Chains A and B, each alone.
Chain A
Amino acid sequence: MSFVKWKRVFRLLLKDKLGLIGFALMAFFIVVAIFAPFIITHDPQAQHYSDNGDLLNMAKPSSEHYFGTTNMGRDIFSQVVAGTRVALVVGLTCAVMVTIIGTVIALVAGYFGKWVDDLLMRITDIVYGIPFLPFAMIMVAVLGPSIWNIIIAIVLISWRTTTRVIRSEVLSIKQRTFIQAAKLNGAGSFRIIFRHIAPNIIPLSLVFGSLAMGWAIITEASISFLGYGDPLLVSWGKILFDAYIAHAITEAWWWVIPPGLSITLLVMSGFFVSRSLEEILNPRLSR
């Protein structure tokens, strides 16, 4: 994109406060994730004791433990910080994979049409028929409660939305004159798909990518909450789950609010970013 367009993007962004907030939030979480080992104040799995040797459980927030401690005397602040990394890895990995898989399938289906399209769309229909969360639960039960299995489960399902939306976009782009012209000029299918159509749908893929990120993070949290998460990994969902089984909802707000709010803010930043991308990339909406 040329400099002028960048300037336009930047100007639009300044105008779009929500988008700006989204980018800022995401940047914040990314920084926290990268520097997590330096930000945490304690080992998230270590138990802490008070001066008289008693386990420091369910301690209120203090200058030593910013978000207090769990029932097992673990530092919640450090857990939440450590959870940021898990959330981002899950979110970004899923976003990238979903975007790639979803876009490629959509391109192939949309471009070739006929039986290829029919077949791929039927597969998409079937995937649409699979209830997401129960499927992920079963997958984790099958493959074991590891974070990678959760990611696989999420990716296996989430591409469907991207595919469906992008396919219809591909269909409309395919009808445009420049594609027809390229065809008349004898360009090969591969070239048309990747040189002519793909660049036009990538903005839309990005929009769905940032949505998929939010999806993935919420799903991971939900699976952890249902008790199917990776028990050794400190994820936000796991922290909430621990709080839930310790019956801390009514007693220890500091254990419930920080991880929940973190999930919400990160997922929301994904929405804001995607919304802002959409406005920037789709002039019809931005006017």
Chain B
Amino acid sequence: MVKRSIFFIIIFSFLITTGCMSVSKDSDENEQQLPVTEDLPEDRKVREVVMNVTNPEYDAVRYEFGLMIAEEWKKLGFDVETVPLEWNRLSELGMQQKDFDSFTLSWAGRAERIDPDHFIYGTLHSSLSGYGGYNIAGYDSEEYDALAEEQRAVSDPEERKKIVKKAEELFLEDIPYAPVVHRDQIMPFNTSNFTNLTYMLGEGLNSFWTFMELEPTGDEKYVRWGYPSDINSVNPLSSTNSHDFQVTRLIYDRLVRITETGEPENWAAESIEDVNSDGKTYKVTLRSGMNFHDGEPVTAEDVKFSFDLVKEIESPYFMGMVEPIDSVEVVDDLTVEFSLNDSFAPFISNTLAQMYIFPQHYWEPILESEGASGVLDHQNEEAIGSGPFTLDYWERDQELKLDTNTDYFSPAKVDGILSIPYSNTENMVAAVEQGQADIGGWWIEPIQVEQLEEIENVEVISVPDHGLYHINYNMRRMPFDDVAVRKAMTSVIPKDRIIDEILEGYGTKATSVIGPANEFWHSDDLEGYEYDFDSAVEILQEAGYEWDEDGKIYYPEGKTDQDKENGIIREVE
């Protein structure tokens, strides 16, 4: 009996495993009509393409719209396999090795990305299409490169904007990646203890200004700032995690800060002067009377030291910012002069507004005794800066406490900040709901908004964002090398449905790379791609693509990916 029952169990389990494990039911949607050509040669058939998406834990939105778009592509006759990948893996394959067909990605709307340089140059210039570069699609156009370089050199904003627009037009024509949506930042806030809530483009409630402006209404004077993970390090010199900088920028001061509306504003710098009006030499005068948290004054020497330090130790986050700088000279106690290699339009917004001022007296001894790696490995538990908050303590994965620096030239109105890491967004939202945290510093799911708003004292802010959800096409591979394919695929992205169904209306259609939230740099007359299935078919038909009886798509005559492995036509350098 026993033997027989084992036998049955084995047979049974194989019966159901060999049958498909996933269960589905055909939906009776109307198939789109495609023109049919009979007797197409098999080798012209377009290979199966892969759409990589993040797994839903990392970002449910990207996962869902990826699946949705893949369905549309299937209707066009492409064999699409959707493969969700864990973020690390996706980032390695997609962003580093460029080993992908297509994948969903989002450029977060950081403050330094308000300046168009990141989108126009950083994600599209051909020099950045190699290993690890941000030009993920592998876009390679001399005409475009020229425009991207030109906008860097022009410092007059109006002039620059025109060039940016030209570049965008060319981008839309070649469509190396498909802009999908700009997702609004939705974050929860508990109004019980604080008022005067300020938030910012791209940063939402995590912005510098939020903490500077909040005013306590009762006895609770420490803002409890929830976040779904802890920071990695309080040493900004070795950190690369953006949340680390959301915390350390409160401790360390910057010469310039980007305002709520996205313009650079002098901060620790009293004045900045483009000495020869050619964008190559800047003279910066510091505010007088600033001190580090240990009481030492902030001087021009510290500023110079900071710039030199990050260059010397190759600080991963800051290194890119100081690249355009040739040298930094101390003019007097409060004045420094920056000499640039070449004029660099985003210098103020992306360099001066990002760099921290590090105390020379603190870091120099470490650099001298332990060298660059000593500085990078330094735990920096005291975190001495000159910013509006001082570090009280940091208990890993428990909490981090900042006290308001009352000597600061523009002190915050709260007594300090408690940064509380949660194990995930769900716990963070629950904490805000329960009034155990005042600010929830992470996107919440649109579906949660309604529930949260019903709760007394809970407010949900929604900020339009200049971050960009998009789909990368790998132009190094067939069939994505063909602009007709990219155009057709882009034309069937159901942006309206994505916004309505996945984002519950909390988002705007992306027409081009620079979103409407970025008011100054956005050009609202660029129309981009709307959902239009028929025109997508037309584009493909005009380019010579054909379909068989099963609605599968075939290359134009004379083209085939059969002799190339995965249709790869260009390797990543």
Whether A and B touch (Cβ < 8 Å) is answered with yes
- Seen from chain A, the residues whose Cβ lies within 8 Å of a Cβ on chain B are 1, 5-6, 30, 33-34, 36-37, 40, 42-47, 54-55, 57-58, 71-73, 78, 81-82, 85-86, 88-89, 92-93, 95-96, 99, 141, 144-145, 147, 199, 202-203, 206, 209, 227-228, 231-234, 241-242, 244-251
CB of B501 within 8 A of CB of A244, answer: no
Instruction: For A33, list chain B residues within 8 Å (CB).
Output: 16
Q: How far is the CA of A45 from the CA of B63 in the complex (A)?
A: 13
Given A44-B23, A46-B27, A202 and B3 contact (CB-CB distance below 8 Å): yes
Cβ-defined contact, A72 with B501, below 8 A: yes
CB distance from A244 to the nearest CB of B (A): 6
Report 6 cross-chain contacts, Cβ distance below 8 Å, ordered by A residue. Answer: A43-B24, A72-B502, A78-B25, A86-B21, A144-B89, A228-B86
Q: What is the 8 Å Cβ interface bit string for chain B, positions 415-457, against chain A (1 contact, 0 not)?
A: 0000000001110011000000000000011011001000000
CA distance A249 to B451 in the complex (A): 12
Q: State whether the Cβ of B39 lies closer than 8 Å to any Cβ in chain A.
A: no
Stretch at the interface among B52-60, B170-178, B470-478, B556-564: B52-60
What B residues does A141 contact at CB under 8 A? 86
In contact, B23 and A233 (Cβ under 8 angstroms)? no
Q: Give the most central of B22, B429, B502: most A CB within 10 Å.
A: B22
Per a CB cutoff under 8 Å, which of A73, A86, A202, A241 touches B22? A86
Total A-B Cβ pairs within 8 A: 123
The reply to whether the CB of B525 lies closer than 8 angstroms to some CB of chain A is no
Q: How far is the CA of A147 from the CA of B17 in the complex (A)?
A: 11
**Can you name the residue of chain B whose Cβ is closest to the Cβ of A72?**
B64
* Docked pose: A86 CA to B17 CA in angstroms: 9
Give Cα A71–Cα B22 distance, bound, in whole angstroms: 21
Do residues B16 and A245 form an inter-chain contact, with CB atoms below 8 A?
A: no
CA distance A55 to B446 in the complex (A): 13
Residues in B52-100 with C-beta less than 8 Å from chain A: 55-58, 60, 63-64, 82, 84, 86, 89
Interface centre among B3, B57, B451 (most CB of A within 10 A): B57
Pick the contact of A82: B2, B23, B89, B448 (CB < 8 A): B23
Check if B6 sits within 8 Å of A202, measured CB to CB. yes
Cα–Cα, bound, A226→B221 (Å) = 36
Chain A residues, Cβ within 8 Å of B1:
1, 5-6
Rounded to whole Å, the gap between the CB of B52 and the closest CB of chain A is 11
Q: Which of A44, A47, A88 contacts B24 (CB 8 A)?
A: A44
Please tell me if the beta carbons of A234 and B13 are within 8 angstroms of each other in the complex.
no
Cα(A209)–Cα(B2), bound, Å: 13
Which residues on the A side are within 8 Å of B500 (C-beta)?
54-55
Q: Are A47 and B13 in contact (CB under 8 A)?
A: no
Question: Does the CB pair A231–B63 fall under 8 Å?
Answer: yes
Query: What chain A residues lie within 8 Å of B445 (beta carbons)?
Result: 71, 245-247
**Residue in chain B with minimal CB distance to A37:** B23
Complex Cα spacing A43 to B26, Å? 7
Q: Is the CB of B2 within 8 A of A85?
A: no
Given A55-B501, A73-B501, A199-B2, answer yes or no on A89-B56 (Cβ-Cβ < 8 Å): no
Chain A neighbourhood of B64, CB < 8 A: 72
